[in-house]
Amino acid sequence: MVVPGSQHIEDKMYNPPAELQRDAHVPDFNSYLALYRKSLENPEGFWKEVADEFFWKKPATGPMLQYNFDMTKGNIYVKCMEGAKTNMCYNVLDRNVKERNLGEQVAYYWEGNSPDHHMAITYRQLLSQVCRCANVLKQMGVKKGDRVSIYLPMIPELVYTMLACARIGAVHSIVFAGFSSDSLCERIMDAQSRILVTADGVYRGEKLINLKQITDEALEKCREKASSTVTKCLVVKHHALRAKGGAACNKLQTPWDSECDVWWDEAMRDAPEECEPEWLDAEDPLFILYTSGSTGKPKGVLHTVAGYLLYTSLTFKYVFDHHHDDVYWCTADIGWITGHSYITYGPLANGATSVLFEGIPVHPHVGRFWEIIEKYKVTKFYTAPTAIRLLMKYGREPLQKYDLSSLRILGTVGEPINPEAWHWYYDVVGRGKCPVVDTFWQTETVNVLLCFVLANGKHLATFPFFGVEPTILNEHGEELEGEAEGYLVFRRPWPGIMRTVYRNQERFENTYFRKFPGFYVTGDGCRRDKDGYYWITGRIDDMLNVSGHLMSTAEVEAALTEHSAVAEAAVVSRPHKVKGECLYCFVTLKDHREFTHTLVEELKRLVREKIGPIATPDFIQNAPALPKTRSGKIMRRILRQVARNEKDLGDLSTLADPKVVEILFSQRCEAA
């Protein structure tokens, strides 16, 4: 497959500063290779060493990994450390407090939506709150294996509840607190949860959201559709206690059903601080997390105890080169997999100190991120390209007010990062001194590919994590050697890969294993260059075929965002009589820039220059905003429909702001 433009992507090497490299867990490329080879040649020994760091009530009787990835040979399964008994919560809390003497260390600096709200929580305090919450859940009748749905904003109680579930062997199903009542209902019903944990309300920026009301609507919908499985709703008094000015300023009417609803603070008041962990089998479920539904009905991705523990702890340690004096901040929401793995489980398993941020990047001012970095002297910072592009719009000025010199490593996740955003992140945020770790992964996989920048790297390109064996296939399922582009697949499992789709093994097998028997199929495209670096090119379903040339939307988008007027771009295909498909581009301009005919011509020229004439866009539409999922992913399905003028849009429940779609339809381009 020929990818126009691939040779245009800058593949210069970026070297980390000497002092970072000196102390790094993986100081150079050869150390990476040695560890990587060991992980593939002797997975048993490699993972056993990782497991030895943790507490096992009973040792494993089976091997570190057993699996079948080939549907033609039977059911797909992955098992890690069969026979072992352990507890996730014990390993991330009790072990740190009792065995590692970290009780007085801060686990989280919680920073509220308003800069006036903040607190520090030590490992000892965290353990005590988690135990009390575990006792509350038990008292409400929650038993091992029961599902608990959690619909909470980014407040400490969210972490307490998820770890309390882990402690008693309940399976948490966290639903991002920006989802609608329909989406919440759908997820509660699929998980058949017994308990729902929510809050009265929350400010997101200036906007007050009545979470309890949404929760009630969701439960009502569940009752209409079937008999609801939820028996109790535990409600955190967050807004009423922590809102601007305290209880006197409580602006919410909190609907209340005394049969079902229980206030968190009342239930917690008398709950004992001791709670014996439930010793679980290595393969018992830990949580279900529904993947964003940009393609159809959400899937309940299931992760299990032992494998997820080993893998999140190890990836956290190496990806962010964790050291005990770090202050780490991941800006994701715990409602997404990034938050599960890299705010809760991975950092705690390593005894790290993290920032837990409730707010948004632009409230009460556009320098909020930088202010927080200065305040807590953050050393490792992990965010998404969409946040970087948003903040880039405001230029360098908001950063210049703050001291960002504590930063050592920057991370990015969620989508391919375009070169302009990468450079801004590297040059402006990191002042050219902080390696940028581009981490590619999925709800299903936990971290799999990442750039070992500490071992010198090309930006935007990555190497596989330990235990992960990627390969590239063509449409016929043939493996491609050397320089190649095609489907990114994995030949074997690692401990942290998903185990099934909750209550739907068939969907699990069909989605990830049917297309190419013997491989886990990511759905993403990938290119391997002559030096063996992997470059993620975007979802395979975002691939475009113009006049027989395959190209990725990400590449064209990267070219468009190089223009100084463009803040964000999204590219889809539209059928074309001669070319088969042609490019239809949506561009969001930076503040005060005008969408003119001259600009359109400049953009077309730019893409032609960057990628080649074959990639010249046929259509460029002004998009005041792009349709995004609540986790910030552009919904290209909707953009394709705008481009094609197809008004039957189907399920829009994951769309953050439906008004955007109307505006885009009203401004669509008819003719080139």
Q: d(Cα 180, Cα 186) in Å, to the nearest integer?
A: 10
Q: Residue 293 or residue 398: which is nearer to ligand 6R9 going by CB?
A: 293
Q: What is the DSSP letter of 416?
A: P
Residues 330-389 interacting with ligand 6R9 (rule: CB under 6 A): 336-338
For residue 37, count other CB atoms closer than 10 A to its CB. 12
Q: Which of 197, 189, 211 is nearest to 163 (CA)?
A: 197
- The yes or no reply on residue 315 touching ligand 6R9 (CB under 6 A) is no
Query: Quick one: which segment of 125-133, 185-193, 210-218, 522-530 binds ligand 6R9 (CB under 6 A)?
Result: 522-530
Residue nearest to ligand 6R9 (CB): 443
Strand (E) positions, 124-258? 147-151, 171-174, 195-199, 202-204, 207-209, 232-236
- Among 111, 146, 200, 438, interactor with ligand 6R9 by CB under 6 A: 438
In sequence order, the 6+-apart residues with CB closer than 8 A to the CB of 315 are: 341, 346, 446, 447, 450, 465, 496
Shortest reach from residue 392's CB to ligand 6R9, in Å: 18
- Among 326, 415, 562, 618, interactor with ligand 6R9 by CB under 6 A: 415
Residues 611-640 interacting with ligand 6R9 (rule: CB under 6 A): 631
Q: Residue 146 or residue 415: which is nearer to ligand 6R9 going by CB?
A: 415
- The yes or no reply on residue 512 touching ligand 6R9 (CB under 6 A) is no
Left, alpha or beta for 460 (phi > 0: left; psi -120 to 50: alpha)?
A: left
DSSP letters for 89-138: HIIIIIIIIIIS--TTSEEEEEE-SSTT-EEEEEHHHHHHHHHHHHHHHH
Q: Residue 140 or residue 639: which is nearer to ligand 6R9 going by CB?
A: 639
Q: Residue 442 or residue 504: which is nearer to ligand 6R9 going by CB?
A: 442
Shortest reach from residue 167's CB to ligand 6R9, in Å: 26
Q: Residue 539 or residue 549: which is nearer to ligand 6R9 going by CB?
A: 539
Shortest reach from residue 488's CB to ligand 6R9, in Å: 9
Residues 282-311 interacting with ligand 6R9 (rule: CB under 6 A): 291-292
Q: Which residue is associated with the tokens 């009790």?
A: 94
Size of the site for ligand 6R9 (CB under 6 A): 21
Shortest reach from residue 132's CB to ligand 6R9, in Å: 32
Q: Residue 216 or residue 438: which is nearer to ligand 6R9 going by CB?
A: 438
Q: Residue 137 or residue 472: which is nearer to ligand 6R9 going by CB?
A: 472
The single-letter code of the amino acid at 584 is: Y
Shortest reach from residue 328's CB to ligand 6R9, in Å: 17
Shortest reach from residue 633's CB to ligand 6R9, in Å: 7
- Among 322, 528, 539, 628, interactor with ligand 6R9 by CB under 6 A: 539
- Among 320, 441, 502, 516, interactor with ligand 6R9 by CB under 6 A: 441
Q: Are strands 285-290 and 106-111 parallel, antiparallel or unpaired?
A: unpaired
Shortest reach from residue 119's CB to ligand 6R9, in Å: 28
Q: Which of 311, 393, 233 is nearest to 50 (CA)?
A: 311
- The yes or no reply on residue 440 touching ligand 6R9 (CB under 6 A) is yes
Assign 254 to helix, strand or coil.
coil
Give the H/E segment covering residue 406. none
Left, alpha or beta for 311 (phi > 0: left; psi -120 to 50: alpha)?
A: alpha
Q: Residue 87 or residue 383: which is nearer to ligand 6R9 going by CB?
A: 383
The long-range contacts involving 518-523, CB below 8 angstroms and separated by at least 24 positions, are 518/69, 518/70, 518/491, 519/69, 519/471, 519/473, 519/489, 519/490, 519/491, 520/69, 520/445, 520/489, 520/490, 520/493, 521/487, 521/489, 522/442, 522/445, 522/487, 522/488, 522/489, 522/490
- Among 155, 197, 489, 536, interactor with ligand 6R9 by CB under 6 A: 536
- The yes or no reply on residue 653 touching ligand 6R9 (CB under 6 A) is no
Query: Quick one: which segment of 22-30, 133-141, 353-361, 434-442 binds ligand 6R9 (CB under 6 A)?
Result: 434-442
Q: d(Cα 69, Cα 16) in Å, to the nearest integer?
A: 38
Q: d(Cα 448, Cα 115) in Å, to the nearest integer?
A: 35
Residues that bind ligand 6R9 (CB under 6 A): 291-292, 336-338, 413-416, 438-443, 522-524, 536, 539, 631
